[in-house]
Amino acid sequence: MMNQNPTRREREKVRQRQEMLAAALALFSEKGYLNVSMHEIAAKSEFAIGTLYKFFSSKEELYRALILEQSDRFLATLSKAIESPGDEIAKLRQYVKAKGEEFRDNAATIRLYFTETRGASFNIMAGLDQDIRNRRETFLHRIADIFESGIHTGRFQRIADPYILAVVFDNLCNSFLFLWLENPDKYSYPENPDIILNILFKGLIQP
Amino acid sequence: MMNQNPTRREREKVRQRQEMLAAALALFSEKGYLNVSMHEIAAKSEFAIGTLYKFFSSKEELYRALILEQSDRFLATLSKAIESPGDEIAKLRQYVKAKGEEFRDNAATIRLYFTETRGASFNIMAGLDQDIRNRRETFLHRIADIFESGIHTGRFQRIADPYILAVVFDNLCNSFLFLWLENPDKYSYPENPDIILNILFKGLIQP
Amino acid sequence: MMNQNPTRREREKVRQRQEMLAAALALFSEKGYLNVSMHEIAAKSEFAIGTLYKFFSSKEELYRALILEQSDRFLATLSKAIESPGDEIAKLRQYVKAKGEEFRDNAATIRLYFTETRGASFNIMAGLDQDIRNRRETFLHRIADIFESGIHTGRFQRIADPYILAVVFDNLCNSFLFLWLENPDKYSYPENPDIILNILFKGLIQP
Amino acid sequence: MMNQNPTRREREKVRQRQEMLAAALALFSEKGYLNVSMHEIAAKSEFAIGTLYKFFSSKEELYRALILEQSDRFLATLSKAIESPGDEIAKLRQYVKAKGEEFRDNAATIRLYFTETRGASFNIMAGLDQDIRNRRETFLHRIADIFESGIHTGRFQRIADPYILAVVFDNLCNSFLFLWLENPDKYSYPENPDIILNILFKGLIQP
DNA sequence: TATGAATGAGCTTTCATTCAT
DNA sequence: AATGAATGAAAGCTCATTCAT
């Protein structure tokens, strides 16, 4: 009874914070960082502007928090996928599937995330892009490890450096996912990971 | 005499316009659309602000003109590459090479271009992204034709739909080019197109 | 029992009020009225902001109460000094001494007080300056009475109207005290009242 | 003709600047620095807010410029007075007269000036008060030189250190001037400098 | 025709004050 | 009775755009 009271407050705070971030996410992904005003975010999340500033001391901090939290969530989900049991191919298949689901379920977030990883918003905010690129690179090395291991076990050929394979593989996924994002009716990617894996696994030229 | 005068005027106008666009390009790619003011562009190009507005009726129009012209130039260069003589593989090799040279020589432009194609600054400007994506799609179909032709002549296997192969191939190039842009010392892409082609041509898994 | 409880409450209230005023005094004299927030005062005095508003219905009222109480205390101290036994010269000497001690012991308060009497923050708050000037004027008349009396008893010459003498005398003290406040190492005013009195007593020009 | 055009522009600029400063002076002296908004100053001087910012890059800079220019003008006027021909007494008389005229003609400016010299606005603006105090001190030393000289020539007695005499003398003037400022009907100071000089010259106590 | 001084809408942020708990 | 979360008016400042010269 006595320690549930603070907990309720806490939970309430977390909920409010999430509502603010959700409103910010919707607006930023729709209009871009500099075209969104703090007043808009306050209005959309139905808080007073002062309340918004109680949670985030500046617009920049709000954006940073949003990007970092989403990117962590995104990478955590993908990490879990490549830790799934099975051989290297199974892991890659799981990864493709998980990434597809992320794109399908969090398109706005994903757009924002790519804004930051693709030098796109360059220089909007000192350091943020580096932070996120570093996280991405760390993550890419984990995929590289899968290729490394696959090469060791003889499952894969060493057609390129494992890190490069990881980058290529990841961007291969992105190619399909953007195709699908832009034309969801025509491309049904997220349902069939093997379309992607095949391209990587089979050579275009008969050996 | 009477119709050479307007011609000289015309040429002068074109030159001025290009100086303005060049200044804008430098500033936009350095600082991003919203962090650049019309006054800065006027100052950098050494025209009065009023003169700038004589050429471009708004900041948005200036940006649109810049992006569209650069993207046209970029795609024209790549188009020329795939029209080079030779078989399908030679065309692809030329394409990889030309794209690499573009990245090397026009990094700023390229960044700006990808800002627009990668949904990065998405919706900074209504319609612009669609315009550019349409052009890109038209262009991708020309690459798809190469794969189609390669499949017909038996040089390539039909491991996927030709348009998808085109998208994958193009993004594969981008992967390498961004690797190189971010880390020019470590990755020496533009010099050796075959590294990229090999990945597409050889399968990761021994058949 | 029943009327001691409210009394204790009363005393508690007075103590709280004084803590609030003390915190406010420290902050106002350090940073100026408009650079101090009610939250700061609440935090420094360790009360909730709501509690602060229970005691003072607005920031303005809090400031007014502070200034008025401090000015009353200040003038009460000086009044006591000029009521000390002795002739007019002794009274003036006591006054100089008491004022010096006030400056030494309550520099922050004094600064704030002079902010109000010296038109300094003029009109930050309608009416407050008049209130305080009135009190000061009343007090100056009490000093004027000393000069009046001194002239009557033949101790002083009527070199000017007694009220004017009072004003001059008081400002003379202030001159020294500010010299000392700004440069405590060089000027040791509060210790020797006669330096000041001499200037008033001896003419600059040999008669 | 060709070099009058820029001159007219220049003159126009100076006039605008002065109108802005005049509006700011009126508002600052009426309401205090922090109670005046840049919009108010713009409105009162009948310029757009952007135009105001073209002349003064921040509110602080505007205030600083105002105070510094006024204080320079004020001290320059007083300097000229003490450079007038005549013996030390004549110089002091000129000083008293000049200061009285300044108070009469520029009461608002004077109030603002004293805000800064009397620690009143303390800490509103880092450095500004020091700047002005330094100028005042430099100036006081020039008055001290007059007393020094008067003592040397035997006109004055050494009843105190010349710098202290200067401070006392200056504050003596201020006493009268503030009396007059607050009660112009009763006190007719600026017309008769000798009332002030007499107090300093004649001792209160018959020698 | 080219200029750049002038404009003012709109941005981020602060803080006195209220009121449900 | 005491609390402090929530409010929103209002501040300083920027910059796309206009228009008299």
Does A125 score more than 60 pLDDT? no
Say how far A50 CA is from F4 C1', in Å.
Answer: 14
- Write down the mean pLDDT value for chain D: 84
Q: State the pLDDT at residue C121.
A: 42
- Give yes or no for CB of D178 within 7 Å of strand F: no
C171 at D interface, C-beta within 8 A: yes
Q: State the pLDDT at residue C31.
A: 81
Does D163 score more than 50 pLDDT? yes
Instruction: Give the pair of three-digit tokens for residue D170.
Output: 């200056």
| Closest nucleotide to the alpha carbon of A41, via C1' | E12
Query: What average pLDDT score do residues A134-159 get?
Result: 92
Q: State the pLDDT at residue B121.
A: 42
**Distance between A199 CA and the closest CA of chain B, angstroms:** 6
Among A149-163, A186-200, B21-35, D97-111, the minimum mean pLDDT is found in A186-200
Does D59 score more than 80 pLDDT? yes
Q: Do B159 and A118 touch (CB under 8 A)?
A: no
Report how far residue B120's alpha carbon sits from residue A178's, in angstroms, rounded to the nearest whole number: 12
Asked if residue B122 lies in contact with residue A29, where contact means CB atoms within 8 angstroms, the answer is yes
| Closest nucleotide to the alpha carbon of B9, via C1' | E1
Cα-Cα end-to-end distance for chain D: 72
CA–centroid distance for B78 within its chain: 8
Report how far residue A168's alpha carbon sits from residue A200's, in angstroms, rounded to the nearest whole number: 9
Q: State the pLDDT at residue D149.
A: 93
Residue of D nearest to C107 (CA): D119
Among B19-28, B32-41, D55-64, D137-146, the minimum mean pLDDT is found in B32-41
Residue-wise pLDDT tens digits, A37-49: 999 999 999 999 9
State which nucleotides on strand F lie below 7 Å from a protein beta carbon: 2-20
CATH architecture of D59-201: Orthogonal Bundle (1.10)
Query: What average pLDDT score do residues D7-35 get?
Result: 89
- Give yes or no for CB of C198 within 7 Å of strand E: no
> Alpha-carbon dihedral of residues D126, D132, D134, D140, nearest 10 degrees?
-160
Q: Of the candidates A118, A121, A198, which has its C-beta nearest B159's C-beta?
A: A198
State which nucleotides on strand E lie below 7 Å from a protein beta carbon: 2-20
- Give yes or no for CB of C62 within 7 Å of strand E: no
Contact residues, chain C, for D134 at CB < 8 Å: none
Contact residues, chain D, for C159 at CB < 8 Å: 198-199, 202, 204
Q: State the pLDDT at residue B8.
A: 79
B124 at A interface, C-beta within 8 A: yes
Does A5 score more than 60 pLDDT? no
Say how far B50 CA is from F16 C1', in Å.
Answer: 12
Asked if residue B72 lies in contact with residue B132, where contact means CB atoms within 8 angstroms, the answer is no
Length of chain D: 207
Q: Which of residues 73-132 of A touch strand E (CB under 7 A)?
A: none
Q: State the pLDDT at residue B4.
A: 54
Report how far residue B77's alpha carbon sits from residue B66's, in angstroms, rounded to the nearest whole number: 17
Does D157 score more than 90 pLDDT? no
Q: Does domain A1-57 have CATH number 1.10.10.60?
A: yes
Subunits close to D (at least 3 CB pairs below 8 A): C
Residues of chain C with pLDDT under 70: 1-6, 115-128, 189-191, 203-207
Query: Where in chain B do CATH 1.10.357.10 domains reside?
Result: 59-201
CA–centroid distance for B1 within its chain: 40
Query: Where in chain C do CATH 1.10.10.60 domains reside?
Result: 1-57
Contacts of B120 (CB under 8 A, 6+ apart): A114, A115, A118, A119, A120, A121, B114
Does A78 score more than 90 pLDDT? yes
Q: Which of C48-62, D21-35, D101-115 has the highest mean pLDDT?
A: C48-62
Say how far B49 CA is from E4 C1', in Å.
Answer: 7
Contact residues, chain C, for D153 at CB < 8 Å: none
Query: In Å, what is the CA distance from C39 to each residue of A16, A58, C32, C52, C66?
Result: 23, 19, 15, 9, 17
Report how far residue A164's alpha carbon sits from residue B187's, in angstroms, rounded to the nearest whole number: 10
A182 at B interface, C-beta within 8 A: yes
Residues of chain B with pLDDT under 70: 1-6, 115-128, 189-191, 204, 206-207
Of C140, C68, C125, residue with least CA distance to D183 = C140
- Give yes or no for CB of C35 within 7 Å of strand F: no
- Write down the mean pLDDT value for chain A: 85
Residue of A nearest to B147 (CA): A204
